[in-house]
Structure 1
Amino acid sequence: MEHQTENIFGIRAIIEAINSGSTISKIYLQKELKGPLFSELHSLVKSNGIATSMVPVEKLDRLSKHNNHQGAVAQISPIAFFDLETLIEKTVAEGKTPLFLLLDQLSDVRNFGAIIRTAECTGVNGIVIQKSGSAPVNAETIKTSAGAAFKVPICKVDHLKDALFVLQASEIKTVAATEKTEDSIFDVNFNQPIAIIMGSEHRGVNPSILKMVDYKAKLPLLGEIDSLNVSVACGAFLYETVRQRML
């Protein structure tokens, strides 16, 4: 079954959608748009931590199929998001060894979808993303995930640091995938409550996040290219976790 992301357009309609509690993935706003109604929407978006993009009017025309968008189009998420603390409590209560995945502002929806698919196959208990700067959960994400986006709980947080504090307070160790370490993935004990942090496609894991984690680990690279696609690297980390837990 194909699931489509619903687009709504018009500033007032989007304001009403936010106030009614609709889960909005992203809002596209026309560049240099002004006015009191736009200011109201902008304040509401900021206070709710909704991801936005300033775009030319031509993109809004395409998204709204040339309806009267008033300079704003919003994507309603096709999934509901979970509360991280509640999800951790549920995982522990079910007697599972927690395995969480944090994505540090991953921006490509196809990478995101591929990671969700691998996460479902490897028993990840939840994926954590930041409200701003992260790839949206849209129709392309769901298609790439082969529907796994409906099976793996996804949590949204204001800041990834908040999630790290919550996880560490719950005695879940955190490991960042980064080349900025001498420690190998094979030196980390994944057979314990753990959360794996994957960085963005271009920047990797944020330095401020690297300072907070319990472990840093890298994959051995034997060729001339110095990095892997993030979804491939994520798969390697998750399957090393599976391997260790099956021993």
Structure 2
Amino acid sequence: MLLYGRNPVLEALRDGRVGEVLVARGVEESFVAELKAAVGESGVRVRFAPRIELDQLAGTTAHQGVMAEVEDLAWATVDDILDRAEARGEELLIVLLDGITDPRNFGAIIRSAEVLGAHGVVVEERRSAPLSPVVAKTAAGATSYLPVAQTKNLPRLIDALKEDRVWVYGAAGESAQDVTRTDFSGRVALVIGAEGEGLRRLVREKCDVLVGIPTRGQVDSLNASVAAGILIHEVMRGRTGK
């Protein structure tokens, strides 16, 4: 798989998943030095090429002057996410995505989940964007650190999590329960629905609590990835008491 973007390529190098790096001629020397430091003595080949070659390979000009040939991004398992929380001695925070098919939203949610301290993200197999270069670039390297898993049936997974003493909170803009006044102690699954459509009826019904973000503007909804970031932050803020 071809991966592009500076942070994703640097993280892939540190993760040992890179076969070759392609750099656009004219990229600033400070970044080239950072790149070579990440390559180190790994033997990864660094090749310089005209920027138009990167444009053509990436199918976009948003590659930031660097691309890498890497191993395909691998799906984790739900058990990997549960084990991660247990190994850290932390209360679980798992983010479930119901129909997030836009790769940029998907990548942005992965990035927010990793930065803010969630233990992993789960998507339904047939209702999600794939783990693609666009997802990896938008995630800015977070795919190297955060487990991202698939499930065949999200409602069944919710049932299994509830049997395992996990409280399930669904994001619903019209919900009467203010997320800033919600107690997120214990093991938590946070469910984010598709932009525009929200959560499917069956998924909503499986949630223990529906929460919403208080807004003050004239526009009545947030981008799915922005909403996810706010909700994850509120869960963690409630736990730390800050």
Matched, 1:237 2:231: yes
Aligned to 2:122: 128
In the alignment, which of 144, 153, 162 is matched to residue 150 of structure 1? 144
Aligned position for 1:3:
3
SS at match of 1:149: helix
Mapped pair 1:104 → 2:98? yes
Report how many aligned residue pairs link the two structures: 178
What corresponds to 1:171 in structure 2? 165
- What are the superposed Cα offsets for residues 60-90 of structure 1, whole Å, 9 maximum, x if unpaired? xx99x9xxxxxxxxxx982221221353144
How is 1:75-224 mapped onto 2 (pairs within 5 angstroms)?
Answer: 78-224=72-218
RMSD: 2.2
User: What amino acid does structure 2 have at the position aligned with 1:147?
Assistant: G
* Aligned partner of residue 211 in structure 1, secondary structure: helix
Q: C-alpha displacement at 1:221, in angstroms? A: 1.5
2:65 is aligned to none
> In the aligned structure 2, how far is the partner of 1:246 from the partner of 1:215?
21
Residue pair 1:82, 1:154 contacting (<8 A) in 2 also? yes
Runs of 4+ in 1 over 6 A off after TM superposition: none
Q: SS in structure 1 opposite 2:194?
A: coil
Larger mean Cα displacement after TM superposition, 98-107 or 77-86: 77-86
User: What is the TM-score normalised by the length of structure 2?
Assistant: 0.68
1:94 Cα deviation after fit: 3.5
Q: Which amino acid aligns with 2:158?
A: L
Q: In the aligned structure 2, how far is the partner of 1:164 from the partner of 1:89?
A: 17
* TM-score, normalised relative to structure 1: 0.67
Give the unaligned 5+ runs of structure 2: 5-55, 60-69
- For residues 115 and 86 of structure 1, do their structure 2 counterparts lie closer, same or farther at Cα, with a shift above 3 Å needed? closer
